[in-house]
Amino acid sequence: MFQAILIEKDGERATPRLATLDKTALPDGDVTVRISHSTLNYKDGLAITGKGPIIRSFPMVPGVDFAGVVEESSNSRFKVGDAVLLNGFGVGESHWGGLSEYARVKGDWLIALPKGLSPARAMALGTAGYTAMLCVMALERQGVTPDKGEIIVTGAGGGVGGVAVLLLSRLGFDVAASTGRVEESEYLMGLGAKWIIDRKVLSEPGRPLQSARWAGAVDSVGSHTLANVCASMKDDGVVTACGLAQGLDFRTTVAPFILRGVTLVGINSVYRSLADRTTAWERLAREIDFGKLDGMTRVIPLDQVIAAAGDLLAGKVRGRIVVETGVHS
C-alpha cells in the first residue's frame, strides 16, 4: 500500500484527496519507482484546484515531476537501485504522476539523476528549473550573449522566472525581473536581478513598437505581457515563451518581427528529446548556485499539497515547493 494525491471526478466536479492505494492500482509501465521527492508546479496547482483543464482522464494522480529510486524494471536502460528523475510526457495529466510514494512509467521517459544533484534539489528545480534552462539554451542557440544587452524575465516571482533569474545572472547577464509582488524585490535581487519592474508596466495593452531595451527575454506570462516584451526588444532580440500565467491570448503586430528582426521561440518542455533533457539537467547540476536554490525552496509533506496548490494559484507562493512524498505532518 502507498499514499498519493488522487483526483476523482463525480459528474462535473473533480475532487482531490490524500488516498491510500494498492500498488496493483498503478498504471502500466516497465519501470516502477519508489518516489522520494516531487514538487508543486503551476500546472499541478491547476490540476489539483480544478482551475485549468489539465487532467485528461480520471482518476488521476497529479504531479508532472518526481525523483526516486528504481524498485522494479524490465527496461534495459535501468536496473533496481538506479536513481532517476522524470518530468513531462503527460505524467500527472494522462498518466499517473509524482505526487505519490510510487510511480510506474515507461522507462524511456526517465533519465538518470545527474551526478552531484540530490533528489531534493532536483525537485527544487523540477519542471520549472528544467524549463528555465531550456529557455537559456534557446537564447544561447540564437546568439544572445551578455555583451548584447539586458535580459528581462517576466513572472520572476514564480518557479520558472526565479530559476531563470538565477541562471542568467550566474552566466553573466544583466537581468531585469518583472513581478507583481514588488515587496519581493529584495528576494529577486538576491537571486541576481539588477532591476525590478512592476508587472503593471507590461500587463496592459501597449503600443505595437516601443522603446528598444532588451536583448533577450524569458516569458512565462503570455498575453499582453508577452506582446509588450516583444514590442520593446532591441534589433535581433530573442524572446523565449514558455507560459501563460496571464492568459493564452497574444495580441500583437508583425512590427517587432519585421522592423527589428525579433525572434520568438516557443519552449515545449513536455515532449523533448532524451538528448535535450539530459543536456538541460546536466547543466543545471553544474551551473545552479545551490545555496540560492535552497534559499528559494520550501519543503512540505504530501498531506499539505492540496492546501499549497490553492496558495500557489492565489499568488501566495514564491520560489519553489518540494514535496517529500514519504513524509506526513
Residue 213 above 70 pLDDT?
yes
Residue 169 above 80 pLDDT?
yes
Q: What are phi and psi of 89, to 5 degrees?
A: 60, 25
Residue 327 above 80 pLDDT?
no
Q: What is the mean pLDDT of residues 65-73?
A: 97
CATH 3.40.50.720 fits 127-266, yes or no: yes
Q: Is 297 left (phi over 0), alpha (psi -120 to 50) or beta?
A: beta
The number of beta carbons lying within 10 Å of the beta carbon of residue 189 is 15
CATH topology of domain 2-113+296-324: Quinone Oxidoreductase; Chain A, domain 1 (3.90.180)
Cell of 17: 484527496
Question: Range(s) for CATH 3.90.180.10 in the chain?
Answer: 2-113+296-324
DSSP 8-class letter at 28? -
DSSP 8-class letter at 222? B
- Going by pLDDT thresholds of 50, 70 and 90, the confidence category of residue 52 is confident
Q: Is 133 left (phi over 0), alpha (psi -120 to 50) or beta?
A: alpha
Find cell 515545449 and name the residue: 268
3-state secondary structure of 244: coil
DSSP 8-class letter at 146? G
Q: What is the mean pLDDT of residues 132-156?
A: 97
Q: What is the mean pLDDT of residues 95-121?
A: 96
Q: What is the mean pLDDT of residues 63-67?
A: 97
H helices within the chain, ranges in order? Answer: 42-49, 119-141, 159-170, 185-191, 223-231, 255-259, 274-287, 290-295, 305-313
Whole-number Å distance between alpha carbons of 286 and 113? 13
Find cell 548556485 and name the residue: 289
The angle formed by the CA atoms of residues 299, 300 and 302, to the nearest 5 degrees, is: 140
3-state secondary structure of 217: strand
Work out the burial of residue 204: count CB atoms within 10 Å of its CB; fewer than 13 is exposed, 13-18 middle, 19 or more buried.
exposed
pLDDT for 329 equals 65
Whole-number Å distance between alpha carbons of 6 and 21? 9
Cell of 202: 507590461
Question: Range(s) for CATH 3.40.50.720 in the chain?
Answer: 127-266
